[in-house]
Amino acid sequence: MPQEPPQIPLDEFDGFKTKFTEVSVNALGGDVIACSDDFFPAVYMRGSFGPNGALYDGWETRRHNPSYDWVIIKLGPKASHLDYCDIDTAWFKGNECPQSRVYGLLLSDKEFADPKLKVKANDERWEELLSTVTLGPDSRHIFKLNDRAQEGQWNCLKVLMIPDGGMGRFRAYGRPLPPKPLPSFPSADVEPINLLSPLIGGHVVTCSDANFSPPVNLLRSGRGIDMSDGWETRRSQIGRGKYAPGAPLEGQERKEWVIGKLGSSGNIQYVEVDTAFHPGNYPVATQIEATYHDGEEVPADAKWDVVVKKTPCGSHRQHWLAVERGLENNIYSHIRCSIYPDGGFKRLRIYGHPLAPGTKAAAPGPVIALPLTYEQFKPYGSVIQGFSLPTSSPKGVPVTTANQGTASKFHRLSVLPETEATISVQKADNKKVAGSAKVPTLQKATAPFSVIPLPTADIQSYNLLVAQSGSDGKLDASTLKAFVATAGQGVTFAEGTWYAPLNCGDFVSVGRSAGVQAGETVEANVDVYVPEYPQAAAEDALKVPTQTAQLNGHVANGVANGASGKPIQPVPITEKNWAKYGSLIAPGAQPAELTNSYPADKGAKTAIGVFRATPKVGLVRGQSFDIKLLERHPHTSQAFVPMGKGALADKGEEALAPGGTFLAVVAQAGSDGNPDPATVEAFLVPAGQGLIYNQGVWHHPVLMLDATVDLACIETQICNGKDEADPSDCELLEFSHPIAVVDVPAK
């Protein structure tokens, strides 16, 4: 009688299992595609029973099987060498599977890709990978698979339960086959792959700490479900633990690190670091290094290249980090990701091409345009955008609840050096750029200025190419970066930043004077590659509903004030009818000055923030809305610019729902300085236009119709969002009875 394969002790297996990939796990695409029997429920609830018996978290079949039951599992990778399996009978005590056996086969590429795949238990291709083994109750059983399993290629398993019973988990560990190295460096339009993906054999080699969750989670697909399925280290403290006097790291900078081996050697184009679900424990910064070594573990004296310099991280966000210029054509086998000083993040992906050592590139690669993020753009200026979660706000950007709970305000995303600014609408090219392009010239910002694209149906994203100035004031080519910004993102160019001509269509410019603050222009001839990022854009409703004969049962006579005592009918805003309250921000409108009268010693600053404004409860189309509060800003004018709703699919913020019209309600001051009810007027501002409230104008806090909208807000204030509100910034009056009623137009 043949001897059974011996079990491997758990502690021994745990010491080396990170060298292998759990190829059967659902997170990598592993899936059960067929079984002989699944009579009993699959959720364990002690003492609970369903119509078919006790509830168990596992697979349990009916009793008295004369032969055996079976289950067929499709593995995640397309092909793998298989080394070990873990047959776990957890929770099954007295009804566990007594014995098991494992078979494997290799599906064709066509079969593997078939979403309706069916594999028969009697398929002639099945080969034995593990002979019959005996199992015990409520325990894990680790077995080494036979030579055929380790040498062959497999992507489908058949696990036998002999003769019947229960099995909690089955796990298969192996070495996914890496992709074949490319014969040479590919052209820019060949899409890079994640070289650290476990589907091609990428795996974690070692790490400095895994106190809360293991770094192998970093390699999983998707963005996870909560904080538990990422990598998180313990807290480090100066002078304590491994940094204590006499300890190994005394006096060194605090950091944690993880080393991963790529599934295939290759070049690195860019890195993705995702801090999803780590809002209060994400690292302050990260750095990526890479090296080449033939073996599994990198020797202590290995030379590491810093492919991504130490860069700040944000909360619950994806970060796309470009490789340092000049290193994009080096060949690497291992990476080291360091986080400062500690913390956790969700995913780590290394994008490049599989290439053999010694492969030479004909020329430096182009600058790859990556999705725009606040942290990556920081050396060149700042990014103006809203976030779906207040905790995703960049570090140092306060977030408060505003407008009676209907908005989140992201304060001072961009602080302007001047206390006065000119706001104008400019035109830029709106031609979408994708693929390879050559940028002939760059121009230098002589002063900081901001660009906020106006939302249009044509512009869902635009491109940015920027560089810093060197110590001599000239363009520093080593700092060139390219970005793809969505219609929901604006930017401020810092003084001295070099930038390429814009392609964002109509945009609002905020700066020292009307128009773009452009200075010196130089020939650059920069090769750029813009990947075709799929759009996840919402088609916004850009037109104001026609205000003609009937509005909610009231005759619309064009009079927009409350002098008659009747409900107010909102009218479309125009430059003319808005002139006594402020300025219109729209194509063709005159540039306007943002003014303020704060005393110099008050420390007020002019800045751009974003209100993520949601529809107010009770503000419904076709119904009346009571005006019971108004506010004014006695020392500053205030501008609101609607932002677009474009987004990149699975990259960054999700697109906001379509629609969104701004209802502006204003009133003139009476002789006592308070709002005069007889002068209340209401205006409809479409998504493609913004407005400025003059200093001291009484107005209702932002009222949005139909959908959530991000409004860029340009204003001068003392309050920075961190400290208590300063009464000089805003005066708010609440009324016990409505001072006016607005008939909200029906769609």
- Quickly list DSSP for 131-193: EEEE--SS-EEEEE--HHHHHS-BSEEEEEEES--EESEEEEEEEEPPPPPBSSPPPTTSPPE
Give 250's pLDDT tier (boundaries 50, 70, 90): confident
pLDDT at 544 (0 to 100): 34
> At 639, phi and psi to the nearest 5?
-110, 140
DSSP annotation of 64: -
Q: How far apart are CA 544 and CA 686, in angstroms?
A: 5
The pLDDT score that the predictor gives to residue 50 is 39
Determine the Cα–Cα distance for residues 239 and 250; give it in Å rounded to an integer: 7
Contacts of 693 (CB under 8 A, 6+ apart): 581, 582, 633, 637, 638, 639, 666, 699
d(C-alpha 132, C-alpha 442), whole Å: 70
Q: How many Å separate Cα 126 from the centre of its chain?
A: 43
Task: Report in angstroms the alpha-carbon separations of 681 from 603, 699, 704, 740.
Answer: 34, 9, 16, 9
What confidence category does residue 515 fall into, taking pLDDT thresholds of 50, 70 and 90? low
CA angle 378, 383, 386 (to 5 degrees): 135
The closest of 165, 194, 363, 346 to 262, measured between CA atoms, is 194
Residue 106: closest CA among 154, 178, 139: 154
Residue 167 in this model has a pLDDT that exceeds 90: no
Selection from 98-112, 222-236, 429-443, 511-525 with the highest mean pLDDT:
98-112
Name the pLDDT band for 645 (thresholds 50, 70, 90). Answer: confident
536, pLDDT greater than 90 = no
pLDDT band at residue 300 under the 50/70/90 scheme: very high
- Judged against a pLDDT cut of 50, whether residue 683 lies above it is answered with yes
The residue extents of the domains of the chain are 10-176, 193-365, 550-743
Tell me, letter by letter, the H, E, C secondary structure of 321-370: EECCCCCCCCCEEEEEEEEECCCEECEEEEEEEEECCCCCCCCCCCEEEE
Q: Are 104 and 157 in contact (CB under 8 A)?
A: yes
pLDDT at 339 exceeding the cut of 60: yes
Query: How is domain 550-743 classified at the CATH fold level?
Result: Jelly Rolls (2.60.120)
Mean residue pLDDT of the chain comes to: 89
Residue written as token pair 């969700």: 346
- C-alpha 461/C-alpha 457 separation (Å) is 11
What is the reported pLDDT for 102?
A: 97
CATH number of 193-365: 2.60.120.260
Q: Looking at the predicted structure, is the pLDDT value of residue 557 above 60?
A: no
Chain length of the chain: 747
What phi and psi values does residue 248 have, to the nearest 5 degrees? -55, -30
Q: How much is the pLDDT for 93?
A: 84
Number of H helices, E strands in the chain: 4, 53
Cβ within 8 Å of residue 648, ≥6 positions away: 371, 461, 484, 486, 533, 534, 535, 536
Q: Which DSSP state fits 10?
A: H
Would you state the pLDDT for residue 565? 67
Predicted confidence band of residue 123 (pLDDT cuts 50, 70, 90): very high
What single letter denotes the amino acid at residue 164?
D
Mean pLDDT along residues 459-468 = 92
How far is the CA of 695 from the CAs of 397, 591, 703, 711, in angstroms? 25, 17, 19, 19
How far CA 612 is from CA of 263, 509, 631, 651, in Å, comes to: 42, 20, 19, 20
Q: pLDDT digits over 8-63, tens only?
A: 999 999 988 888 999 999 889 999 998 887 655 444 434 443 344 444 467 777 77
> Is residue 1 over pLDDT 70?
no
Q: How many CB atoms lie within 10 A of CB 458?
A: 11
Kindly state the DSSP code that residue 497 receives in the 8-state scheme.
-
Q: Of 644, 639, 618, which Cα lies nearest the Cα of 705?
A: 618
Query: For residues 70 and 170, is the Cβ–Cβ distance under 8 A?
Result: no
pLDDT value of residue 457:
64
d(CA 649, CA 629): 40
Mean pLDDT lowest among 516-530, 536-550, 587-601: 536-550
Give the type of residue at 179: P
Q: Check for a shared fold between 10-176 and 193-365.
A: yes
HSE of 326, CA atoms in CB hemisphere, 13 A? 5
pLDDT digits (tens, 9 = 90+) for 77-122: 999 999 999 999 988 887 888 999 999 999 999 999 999 999 999 9
- Per-residue pLDDT band for 566 (boundaries 50, 70, 90) equals confident
- pLDDT score recorded for residue 704: 95
The pLDDT, as a whole number, for residue 64 is: 65
Determine if the peptide bond prior to 163 is cis (ω within 30°): yes
> Average pLDDT, stretch 245-254?
89
C-beta atoms surrounding 583 within 10 Å: 22
pLDDT of residue 285: 97
Distance CA 256, CA 253 (A): 10
10-176 to CATH, choices 1.10.357.10, 2.60.120.260, 3.10.290.10, 3.90.1150.10? 2.60.120.260
Say if CB 261 and CB 202 are below 8 A apart: yes
Tell me the C-alpha distance between 232 and 224, whole Å: 14
Question: Which of 176-180, 307-311, 500-504 is the least confident region?
Answer: 500-504
What integer pLDDT is reported at residue 612 of this predicted model?
96
Structure confidence by residue, pLDDT tens digits, 402-458: 999 999 999 999 998 876 789 999 888 877 788 899 999 999 999 899 999 988 767
